[in-house]
Amino acid sequence: AHVVSNADEVTVRLTDRREFSAKVIGSDTRTDVAVIKIDAKDLPTVRIGDHTKLRPGEWVLAIGSPFGLENTATAGIVSATSRAVAGETDVPFIQTDVAVNPGNSGGPLFNLQGEVVGINSMIFSRTGGYMGISFAVPIDVAMHVRDQLVKTGHVVRGRIGVTVQNVDAALAQSFGLDRPRGALVSSVENGSPADKAGLKAGDVILRVDETPVDYSFQLSSFISRQPPGDECTLTLWRNRHELVVKVKVAELKEPKGSRTSDAHASGEEGGARLGLVVRPLSAEEKDARGISSGVMVAAVSGSAARAGLQPGDIVVALNSRPIR
């Protein structure tokens, strides 16, 4: 999606040097997937693979046009098959060490069977160039988005109305879990499907249907792909026991306006012992996120930084007590 965003014209150039004008059918910024169409016949095609069969250590190949060098192939191995990236909650990225540079975005990631298992999307870099960490959108996520864009021109996502976070070793011990796993519910939106199903702050979601949840982003990714109106079975950990509830998925309404940048956060200093500088949330920010309380983190240091808090995070409760 970021390749074709704001483009006046899109041109597809084939390996035989033919060129076609393309039409953007639709794009989805949350997954960075876009669908374009050209009028042509007898085009070569690639086989679509199953990214769930990928394993860390497996060899993969990327093809793209880094720095304008067409049909460049680079190889590497899979580091992780379901990696969370800060600020991206809808995509369980494939992480590789394949050399990906500007111009590779939108290109295919192949397995050794010549099947496409991902779409190269972004890199981690301090310089703007390749540093050994690259990310690809799993092909099943891309195809799910493709189907919706072709059918309706936009993507519909599910939601249940919870804010979640990861469970670390200290939290797992305090909850009586055998190991760090699950998505810890930080807050439940009033009147949401989760609220109607009886979820509470402090619950740990361990499974959705039969799919285990090890990290909080896996819950967000799974729920977002459920059609609104479908019912999901959640296995919770509450008061050191498992509890099963059913939740009816609602439609996620995209908030209007862009995310507030922490560069403009000029709030009051507080919580010095935690190492946090926070500011109040405006009514619009609360409405956009579906929460009734909380403060925005503007700067982090000390124990808060060691615990993983980052500027832009919203602290909604302290020991289950809402922060207003």
List residues with catalytic annotation. Answer: 2, 32, 105
Using the CB atoms, write b or e for 290-306: b if 16+ within 10 Å: bbeebbbbbbbeeebee
Distance in angstroms (rounded) separating the CA atoms of residues 185 and 16: 53
Q: How many CB atoms lie within 10 A of CB 308?
A: 11
Distance in angstroms (rounded) separating the CA atoms of residues 69 and 302: 45
Distance in angstroms (rounded) separating the CA atoms of residues 244 and 208: 10
Count how many residues are written for the chain: 324
Distance in angstroms (rounded) separating the CA atoms of residues 49 and 117: 5
Q: How many CB atoms lie within 10 A of CB 117?
A: 25
The structure tokens listed for 243 are 């509890």
Spatial contact of 264 and 289, defined as CB atoms under 8 Å apart: no
